[in-house]
Structure 1
Amino acid sequence: MRYPTGHRQRSRDRIIEAAASLFRSRGISNTGIDAVMASVGLTAGGFYAHFKSKQDLIGEVVRKAFAEGEGRLTCNEEDDRAWLETVLRRYMSRSHRDHPDEGCPMTTLLTELPHVHDVVQPIVVEQVSSYAELLEKRLAKGASNARQRALAIIALMVGAVALARVLRGSKLSDEILMAARTVGVSLADR
């Protein structure tokens, strides 16, 4: 049977999209190829026409998730402090906390990514380095410790959302998000 032009790529994109959602909501280790393929109406046997292995798929999912998450790190604020406040408010938000299937892969897959280290680490290093450079440029100009502050802000962002998810439904969850935003902004002034 002959398929229309672009069918293979559309199928691949659907598989990546489904896996991204399933990995974030269920976890990588709790999601098999059968489940991913069934969620897009395909058989597990067809998986290998698109990917060499589950690790190959995981790499694609992480790359896609970071690309989608870049929207949380961009805004049109000219003022550096206002820009940082907006970025922190978007990232460390109830919405991001409550929708792990749509959020940053670091906050949902943090404990699982070391198990697929060889595939994922280069992607994570590239993305975290890129985010650090962006933050570093927007922090107080000329500060000697801007790189350290940028890295601390990234760690604060990821950790706060991950912890807030564990505590979701409690007052403490919201308090953690608010406290982390406040501390993150204060790091811009040092």
Structure 2
Amino acid sequence: MPRVSRKQADLNREIIVEAATRLFRERGLHGISVVDVMAAAGLTHGGFYGHFESKEALAREASERAFKQVGTRWRERAAAGEDKASSRRALIEPYLSAHSRDNPGDSCPVVAFAGDMCHESAESGLREPFMDGLNRLLDSFSQLMESSDPGENRQQALVQYSMMVGALTLARATRGEALSDEILETVCRYLTAAKPDAPSPV
């Protein structure tokens, strides 16, 4: 059998990572097998280890890519806003939409991977890309808050993003029920109000 050219090998690797990025977001970091990934990529199972040492190595790269894709999307949407309030709406409304709920393979990696992270050890190679990606998203969101105090902006970003993640998770868990749409619509309306209530001190 003829050897695959370097150009084709690089293309195959890109196809594998892209397929894995979507599948891991749909099913979680431990919800798919190497066979699943290669089938989605349209390649044979035997070629996997020519590109990656293990499924965890692929999961790490796919996680990094998922966060990078969402970070780029957030920056583009925020840049289209006329002010910080409209930039926040440009992030929140698509996030808390039926499309986002129904298309997890192209949606928030925090929602997709947080459950898996609850069971990963502190030494897990999967935690680093998750924490890096989450912190970058929070930093981006903090910049869209309107306080002159960076600490207050960070607090507001934590509260609002946690609400977004929780709402999207619950909406997926109740998909097909009226409650699912109600959750998305109510939380979206609350967060895009002129001034959502500040969190009460604990």
Matched, 1:180 2:187: yes
1:171 counterpart residue number: 178
Q: Match for residue 125 of structure 2? A: 119
Distance 1:72 1:96, change over 3 A: farther
Letter in 2 for 1:107: V
CA distance in 2, matches of 1:145, 1:169: 37
Q: Distance in 1 between matches of 2:156 and 2:36?
A: 41
Structure 1 position 171, deviation (Å): 1.4
Specify the SS of the correspondent of 1:119: coil
Off by >4 Å, runs of 4+ in structure 1: 186-190
Give the TM-score of the pair, scaled to structure 1. Answer: 0.88
- Give the AA of the match of 1:119: G
| Identical aligned residues as a percent | 31
| Whole-angstrom CA distance in 2 between matches of 1:56 and 1:23 | 13
Note if contact 1:92-1:181 (Cα within 8 Å) is conserved in structure 2: yes
- The corresponding residue for 2:76 is 74
Unaligned runs of 5+ in 2: none
94-103 vs 42-51, greater mean Cα deviation? 42-51
**Counterparts of 1:97 and 1:161, CA distance in 2:** 6
Count how many residue pairs are aligned between Structure 1 and Structure 2: 190
For structure 1, list consecutive stretches of 5 or more residues without a partner in the other structure.
none
Corresponding residue for 2:87? Answer: 83
Alpha-carbon offset, residue 14 of structure 1: 1.0
| Length-normalised TM-score, structure 2 | 0.83
User: For residues 108 and 177 of structure 1, do their structure 2 counterparts lie closer, same or farther at Cα, with a shift above 3 Å needed?
Assistant: same
- For 1:56 and 1:114, how far apart are their aligned partners in 2? 19
Q: CA RMSD in A?
A: 2.1
* Amino acid in structure 1 at the alignment position of 2:46: G
- 1:116 Cα deviation (Å)? 4.6
Counterpart in the other structure of 1:94: 98
What code does the residue aligned with 1:74 have? E
Deviations 1:117-154, CA, capped at 9 Å, x for gaps: 52222212222222222222221131351111111122
- In terms of mean alpha carbon deviation, does 26-35 or 12-21 score higher? 26-35
